[in-house]
Amino acid sequence: MFRLLILAVCLFHAAFVAAQEQRVALLYGNSDYQHVGPLDNPINDASDVAIALKGLGFKVFLRTDGTKEEMLAVADEFAAAAETADVAMFFFAGHGFQVNGRNYLVPVDAKIQQSSDIAAQTIAMDEILERLERSKGLKLVFLDACRDNPFEGTDTGGEAGLARVGSAADYLIAYSTQPDNVAYDGSGRNSFFTEALLNHIYTPGQDIADLMINVRKDVLATTGGLQVPWENSSLTRQFRFDNSPVTASEETMLWQVAADTGDPRLMQLYMDAYPQGAHVEDVVAFLDNGDTQTRTLQGDDAASEDRLWKLAQRSRSRPLLEFYVQQHPEGAHVDQAQRLLASIPRPEDATPGTMCERLATHPRDKTAKAPGVSFSLLQQNSLVAVQACSAAMVQSPDLPHYIALLARSMAAAGDLDRAVGLYQRASERGDLRAMVSLAFLYETGTGVAQDNARALQLYEEAVAGGSPDAMINLAVTLFEGASVPRDEARAIDLLRRAADIGSPKAIYNLGVLAQDGVTGSPEEALDLFGRAAQLGEIPGYRAAAVLLDEGRGVDRDPEQAANMLLRGLASDRGQVLKELTEQTGNWSRDTISAIQVRLAAAGFYEATIDGLPGPSFTEAAQRWRNGGFDPNLLTN
């Protein structure tokens, strides 16, 4: 009890500290340019990020379609507020370009005919940085402006995209694509970069470095590797947009909320969003049998409302936000929910690109908005997918990503000849997923004559482009040494490169190698398993728990082993539940005791804390899995 009291005090202190942090943000979104072509996304981008930041405790200064005078005026207001801020953030979406290594942001009234017009007609990025410098805290800069020079035919002398900006301490400067490269407009309401940022900004307990890894993964996936977000960081401390305790994935939390409420509508939402999810069997059993046992988990109404709200906010799911408003019309977060709803397109307004991604995205290329579908599921919807991806190809001819998705749809529809041709076309235009898929076809002789040399060439090209899947596939080939000479050193290097990009599968495999003494140490394995699990490779929780429970090369820690097992219990397909309740010899009594303590704190376990499984323990573990997950109890 004393330990739990200390835990509560620590959590209160953390929440109090986070609440006292002063945060300010300046946002520009320029779309309706007067002297050059308009842009579709920037006003939406800046406005939607502003909504998110307000929900995360920022005082927001927003200017859309601003003239130079208007933009500088609001910048001065922001600068005054930044002087006492712990965190000052700047976000720009619109036209921007570089000249001689200096970046310029373009107001909507800019008219540039020659290089001498630049200083008078634009805002130098340096002017914004000077205002940010007034803050003694962290400075965050997000530039979604790396497009081609809009003043085509004029003498600006600019290079493509934006130049790299150096920074003093406590800066993070994030670009929507690599310096000196251009970014693509999105296929929907937001740019690819801003959409990815919005999809991850609410993740509880996520450090900004991990946020940028997730943003980069999403943009790589949605552009087929043609756009790679990049950042330059000199931060001296961690920063989290959401300081809440690290929780489970959105998929797990949706199941938890659905099970907690016992509402069939939420169960169906889970099925729609995660047709191959870890809890599909649980949902099917509920919907088929009308199981009402999960209703007993409903507790405090305010806590239940807050849990639903946190999930709806984090996922930016329109159905979940609508469900929240319906269930809590006078709720504490209704105004914020309505603002979010206004920024999220209705299903009937979905663009062909959005539909194509939802129906045909490969599971390994899943993004927050498109979980990815198996080939068997795609086969069931192949005709609709072919139509959507064909339309997306026409709508976004500069993005070979949609050609690759059309190829996958064609393969699912049984037209391998056209699929191979489309994969080839997308590969030639630089799409990484197409290269990997085409390499697999050559490797297996599916739809083409088997050609290991061609497969290897395609994998190498995709590796050079930064594809983590190609790195993993090539690493496996090099480990096996069947079609190419065995090269363990390069295989490990490829896995490390994929892990640096944020591939949870690569991180997990490196953990296995470290655990087995092939490379690294058990301590490294423990860290790798934990990172992999948080990024979505759920078996990492159990693997980490094994090391901690047994003290296998690391300090034995039943408390942390219990935390890992309880996270896995809530997230996996039932393996941890089975081991804890049926294969009881797999875990020490100390670890089981630590689990019992946490389940008792959750209100699910009332028997003796003795480290011995039994009916009461089994029931408590099931309740934790089916709606009772509480991240606040998993902090030592």
Contacts of residue 215, defined as CB under 8 A and 6 or more positions apart, other chains included, come to 174, 193, 196, 197, 200, 229
The position carrying tokens 């043609």 is 226
pLDDT in tens, 256-314: 999 988 899 999 999 988 888 999 999 998 888 765 444 444 445 788 899 999 999 99
| % the chain with pLDDT above 70 | 91
Q: Strands 171-175 and 138-144, how do they pair?
A: parallel
What local confidence, expressed as pLDDT, does residue 147 receive? 57
The total of other beta-carbon atoms located within 10 Å of residue 259's CB is 27
**How far is it, in rounded angstroms, from Cα 256 to Cα 625?**
8
Q: Strands 230-233 and 171-175, how do they pair?
A: antiparallel
**How far is it, in rounded angstroms, from Cα 630 to Cα 300?**
14
What local confidence, expressed as pLDDT, does residue 70 receive? 97
pLDDT in tens, 125-181: 999 999 998 899 999 999 998 655 666 655 555 555 555 565 677 999 999 987 767
What local confidence, expressed as pLDDT, does residue 165 receive? 61
Give 345 or 411, the one with higher predicted confidence.
411
The position carrying tokens 């296995």 is 512
Q: How far is Cα of residue 211 from the mean position of the Cα atoms in its chain?
A: 7
Range scoring the smallest mean pLDDT among 95-109, 179-193, 423-437, 440-454: 179-193
DSSP, collapsed to helix, strand or coil, labels residue 207 as strand
What local confidence, expressed as pLDDT, does residue 117 receive? 87
DSSP, collapsed to helix, strand or coil, labels residue 229 as coil
Helices (H), 24-98: 42-55, 68-82
The answer to whether 409 and 359 are in contact (CB under 8 A) is yes
